[in-house]
């Protein structure tokens, strides 16, 4: 059974349609929503989080009709918004107690037990008495996750949780999400492929308000089979190749440059096909090489 079922969902801001006839099924575990800036990820996350109304389409979350039973859905939901902000003068622990009280945890012992368990879960207990304004970006995001887990939600929605984190904070955050996905259904939106590479089994690719792909990460990589090429050319040809093709990456070697690029047929007599990655699949879908 799907945790979330979305059928024919469209959403406009004034007259501009930013989600276009979306069909999506999300099962338990960790689900990655991939897409470039402006694709519509936050809009979709806000709709699923009951914050934003929409125009057409049907959304069912754990058998509840989101348009009529938003209150029921909210009871099952934890949400980390894209621009999460906790007031700087609170300590991490005070903030957690504040959110828990707002969510109706009035029994002090029950609230304290839950706050301490969650601070431990996100590894913030050692800094819990420090003011939030002294936290690093990674610590603030971990606090954001901890507050989303208050009230034992079944579904956690994380909107671009790794944006702006340095590489070590990102790895730490990724490991935390992987650990949590054993007990919760998590939807993670991101434009950073490595966020989902190691931990998500299923993904969807959103671009210009449309779902261009949904399936396993393995299937996303395989979609680019025979479309990914490596081409080694003298450095003088750099600009020419870059202008003509959808480049995924390039690396400089002694007097040459090696491009990794996406093309539906051989882009050049010197090119060879190579094994695709998830990033290749994503780029192929976004660039419209594969219909
Ligand atoms: N409140 C709003 N009013 C009008 N247009 C909006 C509003 N919010 C978002 N948009 C537009 O809707 C489109 C989708 O935006 P959205 O924030 O959902 O995308 P996103 O994939 O989350 O992008 P990003 O990664 O940059 O946050 C964009 O073109 C954006 O400019």
Least confident range from 80-89, 183-192, 195-204: namely: 195-204
The answer to whether position 103 is within a domain reads yes
Check whether residue 121 and residue 184 sit in a common domain: yes
Sorting pLDDT into bands at 50, 70 and 90, what band is 255?
Answer: confident
The answer to whether position 287 is within a domain reads no
Check whether residue 134 and residue 233 sit in a common domain: no
ipTM for the whole complex: 0.96
Least confident range from 161-165, 180-184, 204-208, 260-264: namely: 161-165
User: Which residues does residue 247 pair with via DSSP β-bridges, in sequence order?
Assistant: 261
Which range marks the domain in which residue 8 is found? 4-216
pLDDT of 116 > 90? The answer is yes
Sorting pLDDT into bands at 50, 70 and 90, what band is 291?
Answer: low
The answer to whether position 288 is within a domain reads no
pLDDT of 104 > 70? The answer is yes
Check whether residue 144 and residue 260 sit in a common domain: no
| Rounded Cα gap, residues 156 and 169, in angstroms | 20
Residue 229: what pLDDT? 94
CA–centroid distance, 43 to ligand 1, in Å, is 6
Q: Are 249 and 279 in contact (CB under 8 A)?
A: no
Check whether residue 156 and residue 113 sit in a common domain: yes
pLDDT of 210 > 90? The answer is yes
> Quick one: average pLDDT of 91-104?
95
Residue nearest atom 9 of ligand 1, based on CA coordinates:
43
Check whether residue 154 and residue 261 sit in a common domain: no
% of the chain exceeding 90 in pLDDT:
66
**Is the minimum distance from the CB of 43 to ligand 1 under 6 angstroms?**
yes
Check whether residue 136 and residue 179 sit in a common domain: yes
Check whether residue 74 and residue 193 sit in a common domain: yes
Residue whose C-alpha is closest to residue 270's, from 259, 262, 281, 280: 259
Site to probe by mutation for ligand 1, drawn from 12, 42, 51 as the one with most ligand atoms within 8 Å of Cβ, is 42
Check whether residue 26 and residue 161 sit in a common domain: yes
Q: Are 26 and 3 in contact (CB under 8 A)?
A: yes
User: Around Cβ 187, how many Cβ atoms within 10 Å?
Assistant: 24
**Is the minimum distance from the CB of 39 to ligand 1 under 6 angstroms?**
yes
User: Around Cβ 250, how many Cβ atoms within 10 Å?
Assistant: 15
CA–centroid distance, 105 to ligand 1, in Å, is 34
The average confidence (pLDDT) of the chain is 91
Residue 171: what pLDDT? 86
| Ramachandran area for residue 102 (φ above 0: left; ψ -120 to 50: alpha; else beta) | alpha
Helices (H), the chain: 41-48, 70-75, 92-102, 108-121, 137-148, 167-180, 193-197, 217-222, 238-244, 278-286
Q: Which domain CATH number covers 132?
A: 3.40.50.300
| Phi, psi torsion values for 53, nearest 5 degrees | -75, 165
pLDDT of 118 > 90? The answer is yes
> Quick one: average pLDDT of 75-95?
93
- Count of structural domains, the chain: 2
Least confident range from 80-84, 128-132, 192-196, 259-263: namely: 192-196
Check whether residue 196 and residue 106 sit in a common domain: yes
State pLDDT tens for residues 47-58.
999 999 998 999
Q: Are 141 and 81 in contact (CB under 8 A)?
A: no
| Rounded Cα gap, residues 163 and 138, in angstroms | 10
Residue 281: what pLDDT? 93
User: Around Cβ 45, how many Cβ atoms within 10 Å?
Assistant: 23
Check whether residue 15 and residue 111 sit in a common domain: yes
Q: Are 123 and 175 in contact (CB under 8 A)?
A: no
Residue 71: what pLDDT? 92
pLDDT of 195 > 90? The answer is no
Sorting pLDDT into bands at 50, 70 and 90, what band is 290?
Answer: low
Check whether residue 193 and residue 269 sit in a common domain: no
The answer to whether position 246 is within a domain reads yes
Sorting pLDDT into bands at 50, 70 and 90, what band is 224?
Answer: very high
Check whether residue 207 and residue 235 sit in a common domain: no
Secondary structure percentages of the chain, helix, strand, coil, to 5: 35, 30, 35
């Amino acid at each position: 059974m799907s945790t979330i079922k979305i059928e024919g969902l469209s959403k406009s801001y004034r007259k501009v349609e930013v989600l276009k006839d979306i069909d999506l099924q999300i099962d338990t575990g960790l689900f990655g929503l991939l897409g470039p800036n402006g694709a519509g990820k936050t809009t979709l996350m806000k709709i699923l989080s009951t914050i934003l109304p929409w125009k057409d389409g049907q959304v069912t979350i754990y058998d509840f009709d989101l348009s009529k039973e938003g209150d029921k859905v909210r009871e099952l939901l934890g949400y980390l918004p894209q621009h999460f902000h906790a007031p700087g003068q609170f300590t991490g622990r005070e903030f957690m107690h504040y959110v828990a009280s707002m969510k109706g945890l009035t029994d002090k012992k029950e609230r304290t037990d839950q706050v301490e368990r969650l601070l431990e879960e996100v590894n913030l207990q050692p800094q819990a008495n420090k003011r939030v304004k002294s936290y690093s970006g990674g610590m603030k995001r971990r606090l954001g996750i901890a507050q989303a887990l208050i009230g034992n939600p079944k579904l956690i929605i994380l909107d671009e949780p790794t944006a702006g984190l340095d590489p070590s904070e990102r790895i730490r955050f990724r490991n935390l999400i992987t650990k949590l996905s054993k007990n919760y259904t998590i939807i993670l939106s991101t434009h950073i492929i490595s966020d989902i590479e190691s931990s998500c089994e299923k993904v969807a690719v959103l671009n210009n308000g449309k779902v261009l792909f949904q399936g396993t990460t393995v299937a996303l990589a395989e979609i680019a089979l025979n479309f990914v090429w490596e081409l080694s050319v003298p450095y003088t040809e750099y600009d020419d190749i870059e202008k003509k093709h959808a480049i995924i990456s390039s690396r400089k070697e002694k007097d040459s440059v090696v491009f990794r690029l996406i093309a539906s047929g051989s882009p050049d007599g010197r090119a060879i096909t190579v094994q695709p990655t998830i990033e290749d699949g994503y780029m192929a879908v976004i660039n419209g090489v594969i219909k």
